[in-house]
Chains A and B, each alone.
Chain A
């Protein structure tokens, strides 16, 4: 197993302060390419990605996204395309749809980190307002923004852990007795 991959996983952090230095187009495409390889329930790939670089659009999105502390030069919006879900008779409550959003988001953030970029997820936004601002198709629901940029020198260490944990605290071996 590659030590570099494990190290990338362990050293990635959510970054909430970014500079306005632009992100190269090739880097954005590499992140999207990584997302394409994220695991997807039934390999159905109901996620769609919307890349936002335009400054005014990003400003408007931030205004309706109380959880978006970053002023990131690139926003990637992960959407669920409900048309795909309907074609495969997936109910709206199917957990695979939520899991797909998570795997795509994490894959993009790891890819960004591997490219030397900062990233952070944001789910605290008004879905209805985002739909209006982006003129989303009816079948798309906005689920999560991935903010991409360069870490600001002033960026803090991130949200403090509620308590120190190791993988052992999260794991139980075999059956419960």
Chain B
């Protein structure tokens, strides 16, 4: 498991601001905006950590997270939207497995 710091304190606070304000405004918005806010946080986090991430993680971010903005505009197509999110979930699971395997190899 990599112990490199990839997030600065200011960036973490910015992400925290996005998450807490998202939680509040979600109370006033349609339920399907919830995934949209989480995707926005995902995209911002990706942008924050990209440069300091390992090559492996950076490739994952470029391939799977940087295309998130395109998905935002596709909410009206629920089937495609769901399929795209499922695809990201599979990709993140594969990424977790790679990190896990690497950690086990190092221990």
Query: Bound pair: A and B?
Result: yes
Q: Which residues of A contact B74 (CB under 8 A)?
A: 160
Number of chain A interface residues as a range: 10 to 19
Asked if A161 is at the interface of the complex by the 8 Å CB criterion, the answer is: yes
Query: B-facing mask of A153-164, CB < 8 A → 1, else 0?
Result: 000111111110
Is B106 part of the binding interface, using a Cβ–Cβ cutoff of 8 Å? no
Chain A contacts for B76, CB-based, 8 A: 159-163
Q: Which of B25, B40, B70, B75 contacts A125 (CB 8 A)?
A: B25
**CB closest chain-B residue, reference A59:** B14
Q: Are A124 and B29 in contact (CB under 8 A)?
A: yes
**Interface class of chain A by DSSP:** loop
Residues in A neighbouring B42, C-beta threshold 8 A:
none
Closest CB in chain B relative to A62 CB, distance in Å: 9
Chain B nearest CB: distance from A60 CB in Å?
9
0 or 1 for each of A24-48: is its CB under 8 Å from B? (1 = yes): 0000000000000000000000000
B21-52 CB contact bits vs A (8 Å, 1 = yes)?
11011000100010001001000000000000
| A residues adjacent to B (C-beta < 8 A) | 63-67, 69, 124-126, 128-129, 156-163
